[in-house]
Amino acid sequence: MTIKQWQRRPSAFSRQALAAYAALVVYGSLYPFSGWRSLGLSPFAYLADPLPQYLTAFDVITNVLGYMPLGSLIVLALYPRFRGTLAVGAALAGGALLSGTMEAIQTYLPTRVASNLDLAANAFGALVGGVLIAPATSALLDRGLLRRIRFTWFERDAAYVIGLSALWPFAAMFPAPYLFGGGDLPRVLWDELDPSMQDAILAWTPAPWDIESWPDRLGALLPDDAWEALITSTSLFAALVLATLLTRKRAPRIRLMLSLVAMTLFAKAGATFLQSRAGLTFDWATDGALEGIAIAVTAGVLSVSLPRGLRAALAGAALVASLALVNLLPVNPYFDIVLADWRQGRYLHFNGLAHWLAWVWPYAALGWLASAAERAWLARRRARKASRPA
């Protein structure tokens, strides 16, 4: 089948994926973002350095593989404006530019070593990724199975939601006091404040509120298993609804939900197996967590027949409830044992990224739901104005 020029369309999802992966590369290259210092060297002095004395094939292969997806995504993101050799050249240039910049910045990080070999391996990886994907670009974006599924099952403006849903299993991997209970960044920031600063902030709140006693009073209302069931169910329900919110009527919404649950549990078990001691792979599967998963799946399936606006409102309410409980409930002392067993030093970049993803994902989802609600409200307002007699 011949694809005419007017049938070629850019892929918003590819561009979003490119931005996300580039951010991942920056994060992995500069983590932990601390200890900055200057040795009086030019940031590009590494380009003239001799090859590293201690060189392993593993490091070179890792650098090549790490930039291959970047090169592929650059080619996909540039389509259809640039195709073929031009797109592959852009992949090479983009990979080299990003890697060169990261290596230059690493000059000022004590835990990293700027290397011209890393730059060469990264640029080569971006080139290989671009070369491999370039012949299949049209098949993937114009007439491939993924494209047919994308536009058969999802609305045209669903790229952001698809990306968020794809990140959900990874956001659920890092240990949390309650299963799927991410978004506790406000609590972490509060705990890191100086006590005098905390007292100064609390002094602005009305004394009868007695905010400091809220966590203990709230935690005493229900047993820990009940709180875990509630947090797990509200968080997972919001993720399931979000994943199917912008689907068309013909989309297999229930199968999509069940697939997302299966991928989430697989990612959780896999990450725990890699990071924890033997025998703790399913330590997170408490009675409360399993009950919460069952509740969320049941509620998600039952919500399929509801109007889209109501489903979005329920997902938003569930997210707000989950975030409030995660940040207000006292942390179970048992969680300290679980977190201590999670080997923070292993896969350091993976751990940091997974933790940030768990912190940020609920707020990104809630922000999109709020934006969608505002757009719907403005559309109804314009419709009412248009229907009024002149």
Q: Among 18-27, 228-237, 313-322, name the one with the lowest average pLDDT.
A: 18-27
- Residue range 204-249, pLDDT digits in tens: 777 777 677 777 788 788 888 899 999 999 999 999 999 999 898 8
Domain identity same for 201 and 264: yes
Domain annotation covers residue 389: no
Give the pLDDT confidence of 40-74 residue by residue, as tens digits.
Answer: 778 888 888 777 766 667 678 878 888 999 999 99
Q: Is residue 2 part of a domain?
A: no
Interval 138-150 mean pLDDT: 72
Highest mean pLDDT among 30-39, 253-262, 371-380: 253-262
Domain assignment present for residue 237? The answer is yes
What is the spatial distance between Cα 100 and Cα 65, in angstroms, rounded to a whole number?
17
The residue out of 88, 111, 143 marking a domain boundary is 143
Residue 148 lies in a domain: no
Instruction: Among 109, 143, 177, identify where a domain stops.
Output: 143
Asked if 378 and 262 sit in the same domain, the reply is: yes
Most confident of 2-11, 270-279, 282-291: 282-291
Average pLDDT over residues 103-128: 88
Are residues 79 and 222 located together in one domain of the fold? no
| 218 lies in some domain | yes
Regarding whether 377 and 277 lie in a shared domain, the answer is yes
**Structural domains counted in the chain:** 2
Query: At 146, is the pLDDT very low, low, confident or very high (cuts 50, 70, 90)?
Result: low
92 and 71 in contact (C-beta within 8 Å)? yes
Q: CA distances (Å), 186 to each of 142, 301, 320, in order?
A: 43, 32, 13
pLDDT of 143: 66
Q: Is 220 exposed, middle or buried (0-12, 13-18, 19+ CB in 10 A)?
A: exposed
Same domain, 297 and 361: yes
pLDDT at 3: 46
Q: Are residues 107 and 173 in the same domain?
A: no
Does residue 5 have a pLDDT over 50?
no
Do 180 and 310 belong to one domain?
yes
Q: How confident is the model at residue 75 (pLDDT cuts 50, 70, 90)?
A: very high
Taking 80 as the threshold, does the pLDDT of residue 122 lie above it?
Answer: yes
Q: Is the pLDDT of residue 90 over 90?
A: yes
- Confidence class for position 7, pLDDT limits 50, 70, 90: very low
4 pLDDT exceeds 50? no
**pLDDT, mean of residues 366-380:** 85
Between 283 and 243, the higher pLDDT residue:
243
pLDDT of 28 over the 60 cut: yes
In a domain, 359, yes or no: yes
pLDDT of 6 strictly over 60: no
Domain with 72, as residue range(s), is 9-143
Per-residue pLDDT, 278: 55
Give the rounded percent of residues in the chain with a pLDDT score beyond 90: 32
Phi/psi class of residue 356: alpha, beta or left (left: φ > 0; alpha: ψ in -120 to 50)?
A: alpha
pLDDT at 373: 84
Looking at the fold, whether 118 and 248 belong to one and the same domain comes out as no
Using H for helix, E for strand and C for coil, what is the string for the chain?
CCCCHHHCCCCHHHHHHHHHHHHHHHHHHHCCCCCCCCCCCCCCHHHHCCCCCCCCHHHHHHHHHHHHHHHHHHHHHHCCCCCCHHHHHHHHHHHHHHHHHHHHHHCCCCCCCCCHHHHHHHHHHHHHHHHHHHHHHHHHHCCCHHHHHHHHHECCCCHHHHHHHHHHHHHCCCCCCCCCCCCCHHHHHHHHCCHHHHHHHHCCCCHHHCHHHHHHHHHCCCCHHHHHHHHHHHHHHHHHHHHHCCECCCCCHHHHHHHHHHHHHHHHHHHHHHHCCCCCCCCCCCHHHHHHHHHHHHHHHHHCCCCHHHHHHHHHHHHHHHHHHHHHCCCCHHHHHHHHHCCCCCCHHHHHHHHHHHHHHHHHHHHHHHHHHHHHHHHHHHHHHHHCCC
Task: Return the higher-pLDDT residue of 375 and 225.
Answer: 225
Residue 150 or residue 325, greater confidence? 325
129 and 259 share one domain: no
pLDDT tens-place string over residues 165-202 = 988 998 888 888 888 988 888 888 888 877 888 778 77
- Same structural domain, 135 and 180: no
pLDDT digits (tens, 9 = 90+) for 335-372: 666 666 665 544 455 666 778 888 889 999 999 999 88
Q: Are 127 and 202 within one domain?
A: no
Residue 152 maps to a domain? no
**Amino acid 10: pLDDT:** 76
- Is residue 252 located within the same domain as residue 315? yes
In a domain, 151, yes or no: no
Q: Comparing 122-131, 199-208, 253-262, which segment has the lowest mean pLDDT?
A: 199-208
pTM above 0.95, yes or no: no
